[in-house]
Structure formats: C-alpha cells, structure tokens
A and B are shown apart, each in its own frame.
Chain A
Amino acid sequence: MPTKPAGTLYRGKTGMWSWVLHRITGVAIFFFLLVHTLDTALVRVSPEAYNAVINTYKTPIIGLAELGLVAALLFHGLNGVRVMLIDFWRKGSKYQNVMFWIVIGIAFILFLGFAPRHLMHVFG
C-alpha cells in the first residue's frame, strides 16, 4: 500500500521562495552584525587592534564575501518593502508575484552597480 505524502504548509512558487530567501538572508545578516559590532568596538581599544582586524576585510576572500553580504542586504531590504506593501497596500497581495520579480530586478541592477566598484577596491 503506497502511503500518501504528509500534508505540508509549504506551497511553492514565488510566495514561498521569497519567504525562504528573506529568512536565510535575515539570519546571515544577523550573524554578520554580531561580528561587525564586535570588530568596530575595537576602535575603543586601540588604533592598532582596529586596523589589524579591519585589514582582514580588505583581503580577496573576505572582499568576495562582502559581495554576498551586499547581495543578501539588497534582496532582504527590497523584499522587506514588498512585504510591507503586501501588508499595508490594498492591492499588495494581488501584485505580490510581479513585485517579487521587480525586487529581483532592482536588486540585480543595484548589485551590478556595486560589484565592479567594490572589486576594483579589493583587487585594485
């Protein structure tokens, strides 16, 4: 006797995936913020300590990771506006799907504006 798959609340499509991405990016940004608050606190310890730690942010590997951080922030921030429009704008839920693609589009354009300049700073 084949068993039926268990019921699920996950409904797929952009509605679900935007939520998954929003959640993952939110957690990633949260953990970065914990680290970033601590590394910045070193300005109160000594210039040498602060500069030593901040110099690791200028290395190629962390420099590339910063691209990921900015991409995560672009998506989370712009999708946050989409969430607010869904909640507060009368027609928000009707247009949630097209707003998802607008969010992806704007995030992509802003990322293309940021990435080359940042890579020039890191590798230049």
Chain B
Amino acid sequence: MVTIETPRSPRSRKHAQWEKWGWLYMRYSGAVLLILIFGHIVINLLSGEGIKQIDFAFVAGKWASPFWQVYDVLMLWLALIHGTNGMRTIVNDYTERETVRKALNYTLWIVCGLLIVLGTLVCVTFDPCIDQAMRASLEVCKG
C-alpha cells in the first residue's frame, strides 16, 4: 500500500530546505542545459558533416580550446546532477520499501559521482599526442 504524504506530515525544517534547493536546482540547471545541449547538438550534429565528422580529431580540435573544455565539463556536471536528482524523484515515487529506496538512491549518486570524476578527468587531462597523425602534425606534440 502506497501512502501519500499529506502536506502537513512531519518533516524536519532542514530536510524541507534541502528539498527546496533540489527543486530550484532542477529549474536553474534546466535553463542552462537547454542552451548548452541545444548548442552541443547544433555544433556536433547539424553543422559540417554532422555525425559523420565525429572522431578523435574532431574532439581534439574542440578541446584544443579552453572554451569548449569548460563548456563540456559544465554540461557534464549540470546534466549528470540534474538527471540523477530527477531519477531520485522517480525512485522516491515508485519504491514502496525503504531499504529498496535507499539502495537505489545510493547507487544513483555513486554512479553520478564516478561519471563526473571520470568525465572531468578525461576532458582536463586530454592529450591529442596519443594519436600518431597528431604527433606528426601538431606543434604541441613536438616539444
């Protein structure tokens, strides 16, 4: 039996505050993500050769500029936290047992954290010189 909380059911002030920040985050991050994701699709899938142009050299070209590194890392953080917090809402809606709910939510945030660390490291430690063709042509690889 699922019980739905009444608005007056007890909840600590701190918890309510925390939920409010989550609620606000979904909206502010959504507004920024709208611009970042639509921009990402226009640059990567609409312009030039679209999906056919995507390869190691394409990524290397983009990440040669700090602008696109910041852009992509920001998009990664905002989207993963937005998506994970949204999934948490859904888990809270549909799970009936507290242990299941907790287990799913912990899993979500652990996966979110790992992917944020992985994605950020990949972007900031990116090295175009691991590619043979780049090693021959790029000035930065010759030093």
Contact = CB atoms under 8 A, between A and B. Distances in A.
Contacts of A44: 121-122, 125-127
Given A34-B111, A117-B50, A77 B34 contact: yes
Interface in B112-132: 115, 118-119, 121-122, 125-127, 130-132
B46 interface: yes
Given A73-B37, A121-B49, A51 B56 contact: yes
Contact of A51 (B41, B55, B90, B121): B55
A100 interface: no
A86 to B, nearest CB: 11
A104 interface: no
A43 B51 contact: no
Interface stretch (A10-18, A24-32, A91-99): A24-32
Interface of A: 9, 23, 26-27, 29-30, 33-34, 37-38, 40-41, 43-44, 46-47, 50-51, 54, 57-58, 63, 66, 70, 73, 77, 80-81, 83-84, 87-88, 114, 117-118, 120-122
Contacts of A117: 46, 50
A77 to B, nearest CB: 5
Nearest to A87: B27
A9 B51 CA distance: 43
Contact of B51 (A50, A83, A121): A121
Top 7 closest A-B pairs, CB basis? A121-B50, A47-B56, A30-B83, A47-B131, A80-B30, A44-B122, A37-B115
A98 B43 CA distance: 31
A41 B119 contact: yes
A44 B31 CA distance: 30
Contacts of B21: none
Interface residues of B, number: 41
A54 B54 contact: yes
Given A40-B119, A88-B27, 5 more contacts: A27-B90, A34-B115, A37-B118, A58-B52, A80-B27
A67 B69 CA distance: 26
Contacts of A114: 41, 45-46
Nearest to B60: A43
A46 B131 CA distance: 7
B51 A66 contact: yes
A61 to B, nearest CB: 13
Interface hub of A41, A47, A118 (most chain B Cβ within 10 A): A47
Contacts of A37: 76, 80, 115, 118-119
